Amino acid sequence: MLEKEILEIPLYSALKAHDPAMYGKIRDILFIELENGTPLPQIRAKARSVFTDELIPKYLVAAPNEPLARYWRSQIAEMRALQNRDPKLCAAVLFPQFSKKSLALKSLLPKGLIDEDIAALSDVIKQTAVAPQNAEPTPETEQDLSDVMTSLSEKHPNLIDIIGEPEKHQGDPDALCQSFVRFYEGIFALGDPKRTGPLLRYLMAT
């Protein structure tokens, strides 16, 4: 009965259909920990770690251009919303290693943003299963990255230093959040999905 409820969530049904091994790993965490009496916050944290450490990196290096762009736009929207609420929240989500506790995004973000995040990731899983892409850079991709970095550094002189060594800027969460959001917005400023997609995959692979 519990699995039936889980599979009503599009993200889990997409996983079961297209990546049964990953689905099984997450399902086992949920079921075994429940049987062991583990508190729900700890169960959620364990399941979330599989998504953030394994599932999402796996798919973002291979997703086709359009679903990949949709997913990253959902992330930018979430970071902007968190930054408007409190830059510390945005920085804590971007860099959980700098934070003392795990954040529950459902309690921090509007339902519409959460729903789009889940829908976008579900689409990434489905589309990657059908048409996986290569993350190897081309000369054009490397040139696009150089152009983005040059353009952003002209507008925001400290941006490259911040995204290059974020650990040195933990005391300025607003600058951390702004820099990373501006960086990804700079990639989308390229305009053409055939350019942004390869660049986003390349960045996730490096």
Contact call for residues 204 and 60 (beta carbons, < 8 A): yes
User: Residue 40: what pLDDT?
Assistant: 81
The pLDDT value recorded for residue 97 is 82
Q: Which residue has the higher pLDDT, 27 or 6?
A: 27
On the question of pLDDT at 205 being above 90, the answer is yes
- pLDDT digit string (tens) for 58-105? 999 999 999 999 999 999 999 999 999 999 999 999 988 887 777 778
Domain ranges, ordered by start, for the chain: 1-60, 139-205
pLDDT number for residue 89 = 92
- Confidence band for 6, pLDDT divided at 50, 70 and 90: confident
Give the closest residue to 6 by CA, choosing from 33, 32, 20, 27.
27
- Is the pLDDT at 48 greater than 80? The verdict is yes
Q: What is the pLDDT of residue 72?
A: 97
pLDDT for the residue numbered 96 = 83
The secondary structure of the chain as a DSSP string is -HHHHHTTSHHHHHHHHH-HHHHHHHHHHHHHHHHTT--HHHHHHHHHHHIIIIIHHHHHTT--HHHHHHHHHHHHHHHHHHHHH-HHHHHHHH-GGG-SS---GGGTS-HHHHHHHHHHHHHHHHHHHHS-------HHHHHHHHHHHHHHHHH-TTHHHHHH-GGGGTT-HHHHHHHHHHHHHHHHTT--HHHHHHHHHHHHH-
pLDDT at residue 34 greater than cutoff 90: no
> How high is the pLDDT of residue 46?
86
Q: What is the pLDDT of residue 87?
A: 94
The pLDDT mean for the chain works out to 92
Name the more confident of 180 and 98: 180
Intra-chain end-to-end CA distance of the chain, in Å: 41
Contact predicate 160/153, CB 8 Å: yes
Q: What is the pTM of this model?
A: 0.90
Other CB atoms within 10 A of residue 89 CB: 21
At 119 the pLDDT is 95
